[in-house]
Structure 1
Amino acid sequence: MPVKRNRPGRRIRAALAATATLATAGALVAALPAGATQQDRDRHGQGRYQDVQLLSFNDFHGNLEPPAGSSGQVTEKQADGTSKAIDAGGVEYLASSLRTARQGHPYSVTAAAGDLVGGSPLLSGLFHDEPTVEAMNQLDLDVTSVGNHEFDEGAKELARLQNGGCHPDAGCYEDGRTFEGADYPYLAANVTDEKTGKPILKPYWVWKNKGVKVGFIGVTLEGTPNVVTADGVKGLKFHDEIETVDKYAKILDKQGVKSIVALIHEGGAPASGDYNYDCDSPGAGDGISGPIVDIAKGITPKVDALVTGHTHQAYVCTIPDPSGKPRMVTSASSFGKVYTDTTLTYDRRTRDIVRTSVKSANHVVARTQPKAADMTSLIGRWDKLAAPVANRPVGHISADILGRGAKTPEEPLGDLIADAQLAYGKSLDPKTSLALMNAGGVRSDLVHKASGSEGDGVVTYREAFAVQPFSNTVNLVDLTGAQVVEALQQQVSGSNEASPRVLQPSSGLTYTIDMKKTGAARLLVDTVKLNGAAIDPAATYRVAMNSFLAGGGDGFTALGQGKNPLVGGDDLKAFGDYLTANSSAQKPIDPPKADRVTILK
């Protein structure tokens, strides 16, 4: 195993902490909780109460460069109640934000809640996310939980990201340089090996600083197998989030670690999309909905705060624990656009967090601040390696084609990808009649504005890769009309009822969803038509889709029941070939109208 390099940033922070301690103990002492005395403050030369700064983020997804278009924006609530869009994100700015935030906080720990990698743009994804791990090392990430995307390439690849070593197939990317792995621990408390029953990585980790101890337990969502390819989770079991966190909270408590933070890759949906929305403001009601609410209400009161993710939302909320006591629950959007700054007041006498003193706020990672020079250097190094592939033009567009940034469940870019897969399917089998694309597989927008040396409207391989980075194949299967309808019903029922997953249909497939109804009844079956004709339940249809959906991913079990499968080529190549064949500088592709799915609310 390669020897890990030293952490100069961490050494500097430790030295600053020591200097601050010698200069004045008072500078390290938090504002005391009500009832605290001067004796508490001076006990053993240290304050009884010590503020610990917890900086956190989630769902970075390898976005080293600032995300393009609306994927690189957050909205900020203004004093007059309106929302303002702000360009945000990029690791050069995230590093600067975190380093600035740490100033004056010698007791500072940085944590993440999973999906740091996976679904990454080309600069990271082309190199199996080694660049992102290097960047996280340099910005002094202390600990993270795993997320579902940490399993995109399986447990062995996740172990390599933790421990280092060259990729088993691609090898080392630079002469004389071996990938060293993550300096921070990945925590996977609820992911066990089917054979041994043991966690595949550390379940918890304890941060220590001058007698202050804070334990971190990391879990991913129990439903990870539903959103990852079967190969990615082969040989693994995913356990209940609440039961797992409670188990390890007891273990930490027995070890004398009374201050505990859970890093949970599962989240919710706030009532507002503004990053600075206050869930607990008067009139906000519950402020947040989704799976994290029940998880937060169920986890033992031994846990003092929850850092969450997965839904790519920004929120700072208090949700009552099982004893009815408010507990902080946070999430920092995605793609490095936001970070959370939480103050945990540590009681040296009880070794626990004073929950009534916990404060938290989300902060935008603005692009108006100076860039971190070391991150600029890191991006430049990897970009030089990627350039021969990245800058190759693959097509032309007439305007922005929104995918991840679309405000509607049916995305114009999702429809375009479905059209590309239908065309590819027909090239393999002329009987192919429709294609379906999962919205979660559309990772970015296609932006018309020129980037770097490219011209307006030119789509490069780098941009296409950012849209479809998962290395899926385009597969063909036979489905009955009844199975097609069942799959469309599964968009809004079963595991997808609470948070619908609208499939992106190819041209010719139309249907209506009535959200006023419940479960499978939301799909109005008599509206499902292909090229104007009603779907025949007894007929057989040749359907194109990516390998993730063909395996029943995202809860679409009906799609996993297809017959006569044909495994095709890479989905990104199919998309790029479609752009090349159907566009030119003189005749670029227009954004699809996204009028194939009608949604009644």
Structure 2
Amino acid sequence: MPATSQPNRRRRSRTYRLLVATASIATVGALAAALPSTASAGEKGKSGKDSRYQDVQLLSFNDLHGNLEPPTGSSGRVTHLHEDGTTTTVDAGGVEYLATHLRQAREGNKYSITAAGGDMVGASPLISGLFHDEPTIEALNKLDLDVTSVGNHEFDEGARELARLQNGGCHPTEGCYTGEGFAGADFPYLAANVLDEKTGKPVLKPYWVWKKKDVKIGFIGVTLEGTPNIVSADGVKGLTFKDEVETINKYAKELQKRGVKSIVALIHEGGFPASSAYNYDCDSPGAGDGVSGPIVDIARNITPQVDALVTGHTHNAYACTIPDPAGNPRTVTSAASFGRLYTDTTLTYDRRTGDIARTAVKSANHVVTRDVAKAPDMTELISKWNTLAAPIGNRAIGYISADIPSTGTESPLGDLIADAQFAYGKELDPETDLALMNPGGIRAPLTYAASGAEGDGVVTYAEGFTVQPFANTVNLQDFTGAQLVQVLKEQVTGVNEAAPKILQISSGLTYTLDLTKTGADRVVTDSIRLDGAPIDLTATYRVATNSFLAGGGDGFTTLGEGGNDLVGADDLTALEQYLLANSSPTSPIAPPAADRITIVR
């Protein structure tokens, strides 16, 4: 049965003052509050009783992905929009700083909840990923996280491993990493729309209720229905993912029947704001559609019984309002990713109705700046796990002459990884013709500047792990030329039509992508060449991919239909071998030109 819980028993005697981060200017998505003048929210009335209205602080973040240490490069910065329209970037993130910011923000707020929107783990840097994300769960416990939804990456290692992260216990094959064992999460993971195929019931709790004195707020957690398209087949085996809206509406009714009328949905699905600045006011006059993408339709169809939506998945920052089915504005937030931001939302609870006074809801994103004191307990935690990881993580696996970016329709790092998998494929089978790499499998850039004890340009195993943390194998399969053309068209059709997923390609394969066209026509078939020759639709080509793509992941169903399979080592091994074979301290690898795909805009 879903649990009704008191606030986390480890902390509720705290008294905190509200910190307004200096980098945060705009209060976004705010609506005018119309509270009775006899007592402001949270004050005592003349009788000494609690006033009718009680402000509840909701602190939230999403898509941490095990980034305990400050993320590097563009992954460790946010964009700040100034009043004159100019922008600057701010270094942000790191759990030592996130802990300090959250603790300061809670000061003075006796009614404070901390929630998250999924992908707390998975695709994590070495310090967490090497230990199956136990370090991140420990850090989240210390952060006093109250509740989170699952994200798609919570299923990277399957439902059993997720259950272990929730309940504790040593890893089934690797055992305990420390003498302390692993206690699991102090907070509930919510998975309302993830069902066991056999039982038809959620694999984890669908909802959870926070309660302090007479104030009750329910939380429903879901992940995106399309999770099976972006997680390996083994990770979601035996699971069914249901529609987000139908699921939230179902449990909102159940909470209402239980007397819980204030409800927040934690949704691991998101949107795309009109500006990349974290403090962009998407509700300002003239802003138009401040946010677009899947979350908009979801928000417009979720029952008005839900008072606010905490979202994620797209790694974007926004604090907007989107009308509910009744036409009333409702707050929808996302705090980017990697612990660079947190959202501070004020929910004004009406004791008379038990509901949130929506006209009083206000929300804003705040930067996790690195100009505050580090939280000592987080520093200790990071030091403990780094000591265990150091013998593996500090090993040099290659050398680069400059930053190798991972962003763009075709990225330099995407080309490098595709070349590495092509070279590895040729070792497995000299008949290998090309390699394809999914952009979502590239989690970070390679940065030239030194960090820790390494020198400039040195690529360590830890950095390589951060780039490719999934432990996918490199697989070889046979495809006809016609199938290969179909694969390229699947980049921009089907589930990828609205948001194309452009595969990174190995040297020798070239084609034109015409973004002025629509659908499959965006891939110019006559332009596809391999080593300068047109693709022969009837010939057989030997293609290297990672196991995620070989299973049809990311909507590339044709890649799941290959023949003559051969499974190799993991993709990080392929990258390491390629870097060691093609770089040295005196002859580092330069960033590839990223000119294999001709893009027409």
Aligned mates of 1:46, 1:115 — CA distance in 2:
38
Give the drift of 1:598. 2.1
Counterpart residue number, 2:13: 14
Give the drift of 1:428. 0.6
From 71, 81, 86, the equivalent of 2:90 is 86
Give the drift of 1:599. 2.1
Unaligned runs of 5+ residues in structure 2 are 1-5, 17-30
- What is the SS of the residue equivalent to 1:249? helix
The answer to whether the 8 Å contact 1:290/1:498 transfers is no
Alignment size in residue pairs: 578
Aligned 1:181-220 pairs, distance under 5 A: 181-220=184-223
**Cα gap change, 1:11 to 1:157, in 2 (>3 Å):** closer
Counterpart residue number, 1:288: 291
Aligned 1:2-41 pairs, distance under 5 A: 11-14=10-13, 16=15, 33-34=33-34, 36-38=36-38
Counterpart residue number, 1:4: none
Query: Is 2:167 the counterpart of 1:163?
Result: yes
- What is the SS of the residue equivalent to 2:166? helix
Write the deviation string for residues 560-599 of structure 1: whole angstroms up to 9, x where unpaired.
1111110111110110111001000010000011111122
Give the drift of 1:16. 3.5
- What is the SS of the residue equivalent to 1:469? coil
| Aligned-residue RMSD, C-alpha | 1.6
Counterpart residue number, 1:105: 109
Query: Is 2:155 the counterpart of 1:151?
Result: yes
Give the drift of 1:33. 4.6
Query: Is 2:54 the counterpart of 1:50?
Result: yes
Structure 1 runs (4+) deviating above 6 angstroms are none
The answer to whether the 8 Å contact 1:154/1:232 transfers is yes
Aligned mates of 1:535, 1:79 — CA distance in 2:
53
- What is the SS of the residue equivalent to 2:576? helix
Q: Give, as a single letter, the amino acid of the residue that structure 2 aligns with 1:262.
A: A
Query: Is 2:74 the counterpart of 1:70?
Result: yes
The answer to whether the 8 Å contact 2:472/2:571 transfers is yes
Aligned 1:87-486 pairs, distance under 5 A: 87-174=91-178, 176-403=179-406, 406=407, 408-486=408-486
Q: TM-score, normalised by structure 2?
A: 0.94
Aligned mates of 1:318, 1:147 — CA distance in 2:
23
Write the deviation string for residues 174-230 of structure 1: whole angstroms up to 9, x where unpaired.
1x3110000000000000100000100000000011111110000000000000011
Counterpart residue number, 2:596: 596
Q: Give, as a single letter, the amino acid of the residue that structure 1 aligns with 2:518.
A: T
Give the fraction of aligned pairs with identical amino acids, expressed as a percent.
Answer: 70
- What is the SS of the residue equivalent to 1:14? coil
Write the deviation string for residues 119-161 of structure 1: whole angstroms up to 9, x where unpaired.
0000000000000000000010000000000000000000000
Query: Is 2:549 the counterpart of 1:545?
Result: no
**Higher relative contact order structure (alpha carbons within 8 Å, sequence separation ≥ 6):** 2
Aligned mates of 1:35, 1:551 — CA distance in 2:
55
- What is the SS of the residue equivalent to 1:245? helix
Aligned mates of 2:90, 2:396 — CA distance in 1:
29
Q: Give, as a single letter, the amino acid of the residue that structure 1 aligns with 2:422.
A: L
Q: Give, as a single letter, the amino acid of the residue that structure 1 aligns with 2:13.
A: A
Unaligned runs of 5+ residues in structure 1 are 1-6, 18-30
The answer to whether the 8 Å contact 1:252/1:258 transfers is yes
Q: TM-score, normalised by structure 1?
A: 0.94
Write the deviation string for residues 51-95 of structure 1: whole angstroms up to 9, x where unpaired.
000000000000000111111111111222122111111100111
Aligned mates of 2:466, 2:572 — CA distance in 1:
10
Write the deviation string for residues 15-73 of structure 1: whole angstroms up to 9, x where unpaired.
549xxxxxxxxxxxxx9953625289626610100100000000000000011111111
Q: Give, as a single letter, the amino acid of the residue that structure 2 aligns with 1:156.
A: R
Q: Give, as a single letter, the amino acid of the residue that structure 1 aligns with 2:127.
A: L
Aligned mates of 1:32, 1:209 — CA distance in 2:
26
- What is the SS of the residue equivalent to 2:577? helix
Counterpart residue number, 1:512: 512
Q: Give, as a single letter, the amino acid of the residue that structure 2 aligns with 1:282.
A: P
Counterpart residue number, 2:575: 575
Counterpart residue number, 1:59: 63
The answer to whether the 8 Å contact 1:10/1:140 transfers is no
Aligned mates of 1:53, 1:346 — CA distance in 2:
10
Aligned mates of 2:361, 2:130 — CA distance in 1:
41
The answer to whether the 8 Å contact 1:312/1:332 transfers is yes
